Amino acid sequence: MKEFDAEFDFNYEISQTADFIRSRNYSRVALQFPDHLIKDSIRVVSSLNDRLQDTDTRLYVMADTTFGSCCVDEVGAAHANADCVIHYGHTCLSKTSTLPAFFVFGKAKINVTRCVEKLSNHALTTSKPILVLFGLEYAHAIQDIRKALTDVASRLHDSESRSVFYYADVVSTIIEPSNTTSNGKLERVVCSTDTGDAKEAVTSKYSIGGLTWSLPKELKIEDCFLYWIGADNSSFSNAVLTFNECEIIRYDAVEDFCVSDVSQLKRILKRRYYLVEKAKDANIVGILVGTLGVAGYLHMINQMKELISAAGKKVYTLAMGRPNPAKLANFPECDVFVYVSCAQTALLDSKEFLAPVITPFEAMIAFNRGKQWTGAYMMEFQNLITSCPVEVQEDQIEEARFSFLQGGYVEDVDLQQADVTKENEGGPLSLVKASENALQVRDKDSRSTIVKSGAEFLAGRSYQGLDYRKSSLPPQPLLVGRSGKASGYKNENIN
């Protein structure tokens, strides 16, 4: 039993967590568990309380997060007025906005010998530099793997193979709230390639999903062979899509085999490109709030509003927790949705949705006239945050492209270039009021397009909700169901 307790404490890092809480004198601490770890929450709280007996620290367990469980639930922690959050299980390690966080990744079992053996076999078949990436649940074993591979690399160096190994490290297990500038805007933190001053930099720094590594300045990431240790989850998908030009292989530590075919994940890029083209036809765009804790989400939402408005489209911001087809079906007026969330929950399979759901990166391509997709893909919206307003260049006003809705090549019309005061002066565009809640855009060839609004869709619905304003009487309270406390309702006889 003592051995089991020791393994439990080791896996949940009870001692390290207690030291973190005590060193910072936190009095109210929120413990965030994903659904599959809730069963262990009572033992974790009990173990922590034993080590914090000499303090007045109070622990609060959080579950059923509003958004993805990989992000720190700062809203739930605020309900308990917590000083910090201890996050357990799989995480995206996104920067927090207001609260510090301590992450306990867990320690998944792995056979280091078998892992190194599999990697060695693949190293013999390639001359490319090998970059070792991993799921955070295997971070505890990376030092052992690295040590074992050092011996293997020395043997490979004497053979025909000239492979060089590079290793990723965890950014940090403690995240502090992001700093803000004097005007309240988030300071941009570059998480992609950052070579710094060309005269001084000798390496290029990369970061993705809580991992960071450096490569020689002359070596490009697409020239590397990626070796991923971990499960086929959102972290791995993020790496495959971001570094889609790299050859990659995944080692499954549970089943002890390697998977080299990731073509299914790379095919996702084709569908994402289709959604980008389809989004260009949208008249009304809904911005879905997919996080309330990732640093910079408010700035990203405002930036998306500027971008969409500059493209001459209507925009609405929607906060509804985790989106699903039933929720989004309540907004049939939206032709496309932009999902602002962390990198590992950003990709929604919208095949069952009435309208496509795209990421901020895809929105930047769809709503920026003349911008072409080079094949590069970016999941983290923090890399897209800019301090300058979105502008539309004059030479990008008209751009012929294929329209999925009209079935042919069309020329885009930008409402921002239309001048209402010049309607009768023969300007390039004129705005004509088509209805009470819609505008009709007319170009020089008298071609027009109706830009509808959410209010117009609401007016056309058969059911518009309860509206007491249509009645001369004040609204009356409506009681449905029972009243009173669950221990004894008013209509029950209590013995």
Give the mean model confidence (pLDDT) for residues 189-218: 66
- Residues 401-406: contacts with CB within 8 Å, 24+ apart? 401/277, 401/280, 402/277, 403/280, 403/281, 404/277, 404/278, 404/281, 405/281, 406/281
The size of the chain, in residues, is 495
Q: Which two tokens stand for residue 140?
A: 């505890």
Confidence at 154, pLDDT banded by 50, 70, 90: low
Q: Are strands 448-451 and 438-443 parallel, antiparallel or unpaired?
A: antiparallel
How far apart are the C-alpha atoms of 315 and 306, rounded to whole Å? 9
Enter the DSSP assignment of 90.
Answer: S
**Which residue type, as a one-letter code, is found at position 291?**
T
DSSP 133-170: EE-GGGGGGHHHHHHHHHHHHHHHHTSS----EEE-EE
Give the mean model confidence (pLDDT) for residues 444-452: 50
Confidence at 374, pLDDT banded by 50, 70, 90: confident
How far apart are the C-alpha atoms of 410 and 447, rounded to whole Å? 11
Give the mean model confidence (pLDDT) for residues 234-262: 90
Q: What is the pLDDT of residue 338?
A: 95
Between helix 360-367 and helix 268-279 the angle, nearest 10°, is: 50
Q: Please name the helix (run of DSSP H) or strand (run of DSSP E) that holds residue 301, with its range, or none.
A: helix 297-310
Residues near 260 by beta carbon (within 8 Å), at least 6 away in sequence: 249, 250
**Which residue type, as a one-letter code, is found at position 227?**
Y
* 372 vs 400, higher pLDDT: 372
Q: Which two tokens stand for residue 53?
A: 């007996």
Enter the DSSP assignment of 369.
Answer: T
How far apart are the C-alpha atoms of 22 and 43, rounded to whole Å? 19
**192 close to 383: Cβ distance less than 8 angstroms:** yes
Q: Are strands 203-208 and 84-88 parallel, antiparallel or unpaired?
A: unpaired
Confidence check: pLDDT of 280 > 80 = yes
Enter the DSSP assignment of 15.
Answer: H
**What predicted TM-score, i.e. pTM, was given to this entire model?**
0.76
- The share of the chain scoring above pLDDT 70, in percent, equals 74
Q: What is the pLDDT of residue 437?
A: 46
The domains of the chain, with CATH numbers, are 2-104 (3.40.50.11840), 112-266 (no CATH), 272-410 (3.40.50.11860), 418-495 (no CATH)
248 in helix, strand or coil? strand
Confidence check: pLDDT of 489 > 90 = no
Question: CA of 223: how far to CAs of 131, 211, 359, 371, in Å?
Answer: 10, 19, 27, 26
